[in-house]
Amino acid sequence: MSVLEKETGEPDFWKDRKRATETSQRISEIRLEIETVEGLEKEIQDSKSDESLMGRLEKRIEKEEIKTFLSGKYDRNNAILQIVSGAGGVDAQDWASMILRMYERYCATKGFGTKVLHQSFGEGGGPEGRIGTKSATLEIKGLYAYGFLKNETGVHRLVRISPFSAQKLRHTSFVLVEVLPEISEKEIEIKPEDLKIETFKSSGPGGQYVNKTESAVRILHLPTGIMVSSQTERLQGKNRDNAMKILYAKVYQLGKEERKKEIGKIKGVKKSVGWGNQIRSYVLHPYKMVKDLRTGVETSDTGKILDGGLDEFIEAEVKYTN
């Protein structure tokens, strides 16, 4: 931290405002981590004779300990989480809305800030006039946001009695989740001439306009064919900035996947991708069970999980993949 603090004392430190802000934020994060560890050490010393207090401290220490597994290059970064409804029609769109709510609630328990950057709504007609989600992009801000959530990438399967079925039939729905790290502009070069930028009117459920002006932004990256959009801000400039955040993350991810493919060719490794890459199953009927298909962690408390109580699953994933 002393090296970073030395930088802040340089005469031209604030000339590059973005870099200066990032450095200041990193110093604050390191200070907070040091204060947390020192505080725990003091509490341990003060509570050695109190078994109940020691038990509570052990749980807090375990929460801090999990961060030692988050040593990846971008694990400390903010995250961009994308949700796409798959096979299952209106049931899958409803499942996508449930998944979005689940992650928003999980992030609230972790102290992460969230903002929906883009949401494409599905058809209505369900119970209580529920409107589903075809796709959504959620920005998640907080220390280790990407590190905690990166392993949520994959297909999430729901089995339940369909609330859209008059015959009360059991239905299986699929949603694809992709988690990307927020990437700094200086790490990836995107040329202005490689972008096709369009504006459109942002709309909400039922086609009602959120904004009557063309403030929503859609960006096509011509070299890769990646298309991103943002519509939730009232100002076109802010939507453009948000769309560019998503684009930088997706271009980074594409490069990462291409490198994996090349390594796979060299090693002769074949790995299923897309909808076959199922990671977790949520069963609400004929019994209640959420099971992670990688770690084997499971619970019958489906309500807790859908309300964002994902710690047990996410912490097991972090340890399993490191």
Q: What is the pLDDT of residues 159-199, one digit of tens each?
A: 999 988 888 889 999 999 999 999 988 788 899 999 999 99
Q: What is the DSSP letter of 132?
A: -
Distances (CA, A) of 80 to 9, 177, 204: 33, 11, 21
CA dihedral 63, 96, 141, 241 (to 10 degrees): 160
Residue 320 token pair: 């399993």
Question: What confidence score (pLDDT) does residue 306 get?
Answer: 98
Distance CA 10, CA 161 (A): 63
Question: What confidence score (pLDDT) does residue 207 get?
Answer: 47
Below-70 pLDDT ranges, the chain: 1-7, 9, 13, 18-19, 21-23, 25-26, 29-30, 32-33, 35-56, 59-60, 62-63, 124-129, 203-213, 263-276, 322
Question: What confidence score (pLDDT) does residue 208 get?
Answer: 45
Distance CA 9, CA 29 (A): 18
pTM summary value:
0.79
Question: What confidence score (pLDDT) does residue 202 get?
Answer: 74
The type of residue at 83 is: I
Distance CA 244, CA 232 (A): 14
Question: What confidence score (pLDDT) does residue 257 get?
Answer: 85
Strand 278-283 relative to strand 154-161: parallel, antiparallel, unpaired? parallel
Q: What is the DSSP letter of 191?
A: -
Dump pLDDT digits (tens) for 46-59: 666 666 666 667 76
Distance CA 262, CA 99 (A): 33
Question: What confidence score (pLDDT) does residue 181 get?
Answer: 95
Terminal CA-to-CA distance of the chain, rounded, Å? 26
Task: Identify the CATH assignment for 73-322 out of 3.40.50.720, 2.60.120.920, 3.30.70.1660, 3.90.1150.10.
Answer: 3.30.70.1660
3-state secondary structure of 291: strand
Strand 195-200 relative to strand 216-221: parallel, antiparallel, unpaired? antiparallel
Contacts of 57 (CB under 8 A, 6+ apart): 40, 43, 44, 47
Question: What confidence score (pLDDT) does residue 8 get?
Answer: 73
Question: What confidence score (pLDDT) does residue 87 get?
Answer: 77
DSSP labels for 44-110? HHHTTT-HHHHHHHHHHHHHHHGGGG--STTTTS-EEEEEEE-SSHHHHHHHHHHHHHHHHHHHHHH
Task: Give bridge partners of residue 312 from the DSSP assignment.
Answer: none
Residues of the chain with CATH 3.30.70.1660: 73-322
Q: Is the Cβ–Cβ distance between 130 and 166 less than 8 Å?
A: no
